[in-house]
Amino acid sequence: MAWEYKIITSAEDTDDETMLNELGAEGWELISVQISEVTYVEENAESEEGDEYVEEVATYYLKRAK
């Protein structure tokens, strides 16, 4: 049997449950999840240093039979 793979990255503001349910209905099977924190620096015109903020990002690894 051959497999087809898909990798999806989503941010905190994504409705992951709905997305995963839709993918499951299409035959995709979740095989792994990786949660990581990404730090962004936003330049600030008022000071030399930028404002930092951290966002959690989920990466989903899926497979389905071809």
Q: What angle do CA 19, 40, 7 make, to 5 degrees?
A: 30
Q: What is the mean pLDDT of the chain?
A: 90
Structure tokens at 49: 């240093």
Q: What pLDDT is stored for residue 47 in this prediction?
A: 66
Confidence label for 44 from pLDDT (cuts 50, 70 and 90):
confident
According to the 3-state scheme, what is the secondary structure of 8-23?
EEECCCCCHHHHHHHH
CB 43 within 8 A of CB 52: no
Please check the confidence at residue 12 and state whether its pLDDT lies above 90.
no
Domain limits for position 36: 3-65
Q: What is the mean pLDDT of residues 51-58?
A: 88
How does pLDDT run across 17-40, given as a tens digit for each residue? 999 999 999 999 999 999 999 898
Number of domains in the chain: 1
